Amino acid sequence: MSIAPGTKLGQYEVQEFIGQGAMGLVYRAFHVQLERAGAVKVLQALSPDPDTSARFRHEARAIAQMRHQNIVNVYDFGEFEGTPYMIVEYVPGGSLADRLDKGPVSRASALKYLRGIATGLDYAHGMGIIHRDVKPANVLLEKDDTPVLADFGLAKLLQGSSLKSMTGVTTGTPAYMAPEQVMGRQVGPAADRYSLATIAYEMLAGVIPFDGEALMELLYAQVHRDPLPPSVRDASLGPDVDAVIMRGLAKDPAARWESCTLFVDALAAALESPAATPALVAGKAAVLRTDALPAT
């Protein structure tokens, strides 16, 4: 469902379409009285039945309770002609995915991004909220490059959907999903930590852990195979970096780092070890996106 410019959603007026988001269409909107811009996410992936709408309201309230500089603020939520929508803070700097598409970032910048994401995730986990869809496209950047997590918790709203339907609405998700999530099991904070380790691998090695796999092979690999150590992709990375990231990508959730911040702290120390030689982080190579995969 598209929304025409000028449509009022609560106190916000839709101004223009700005892109396709994880769960549907995204529009820029404006609150005239507050002179504040917002981003409207129309969750087209959800059916407008009463149970789904109630689940959406419950999840939106939980997300709206969070106040953290690395988590996008929720301004409002409701329904438009039976379709759920959420109005969130408008972050002007594009996404981390956009930034990585432009080429290499320094290791210092990579650590800045990872640390911001980590503190936001740890804060949310402390409140009992799991993201479930951590990936570069869901990390927005402020003008000063501060990372801000978006679409927080919205993947839970698709918990009744099949994996095939999920991959159809969440671009790139399989490449960042923890093994337990691929298998349809209940996920906890460790699943978000796995996704964060995947982003770290991608920024340091230049590719996702299972690069070049078709969809079904990728899903199989997430559950059954270990990726190549990052130093195989980039020889300037040492065994200490390998050890930190491979622990983050452990198949067993209990074997991963106890928090996202501990993971980033360990990674920062490993990158400063003599075995890791100074170098630019590899440019983003062929990051897998589901819309480029063959139909299954």
pLDDT digits (tens, 9 = 90+) for 234-289: 999 999 999 999 999 999 999 999 999 999 999 999 999 876 665 544 444 333 33
User: Does residue 100 surpass a pLDDT of 60?
Assistant: yes
pLDDT digits (tens, 9 = 90+) for 139-176: 999 999 999 998 876 656 544 433 333 333 333 378 99
pLDDT digits (tens, 9 = 90+) for 109-148: 999 999 999 999 999 999 888 998 899 999 999 999 999 9
Task: Measure the CA angle with vertex 212, ends 110 and 137; round to 5°.
Answer: 40
Q: Which residue has the higher pLDDT, 296 or 15?
A: 15
User: Residue 267: what pLDDT?
Assistant: 98
Secondary structure class of 51 (helix, strand, coil) = helix
Contact 216, 168 (CB under 8 A): no
Ranges 84-88, 117-121, 189-193, 239-243: which has the least confidence = 84-88
d(CA 31, CA 191): 36
Among 5-14, 29-38, 48-57, 106-115, the range of highest mean pLDDT:
106-115
Neighbours of 2 (CB within 10 A): 9
Residues 6+ apart with CB under 8 A from 208: 175, 176, 198, 201, 202, 287, 288
Task: Measure the CA angle with vertex 244, ends 241 and 250; round to 5°.
Answer: 130
User: Residue 20: what pLDDT?
Assistant: 75
Ranges 52-61, 106-115, 205-214: which has the least confidence = 52-61
Average pLDDT of the chain is 83
Which one, of 245, 203, 254, lies nearest residue 227 by Cα? 245
Phi/psi zone of residue 95: left (φ > 0), alpha (ψ -120 to 50 degrees), beta?
beta
User: Residue 253: what pLDDT?
Assistant: 97
Distance (Å) of CA 256 to CA 125, 253, 262: 15, 6, 10
Q: What is the mean pLDDT of residues 214-243?
A: 94
Q: Describe the chain by its helix, strand, coil percentages, rounded to 5.
A: 40, 15, 45
Q: Rg of the chain's alpha carbons, rounded to an integer?
A: 19
pTM of this structure: 0.83
d(CA 110, CA 96): 10
- The per-type count for the chain, helices as H runs and strands as E runs, is 10, 8
Which one, of 222, 212, 184, lies nearest residue 293 by Cα? 212
Give the residue numbers marked as catalytic.
Answer: 133
Contact 172, 288 (CB under 8 A): yes
Domains of the chain: 8-89 (3.30.200.20), 96-292 (1.10.510.10)
User: Does residue 47 surpass a pLDDT of 90?
Assistant: no
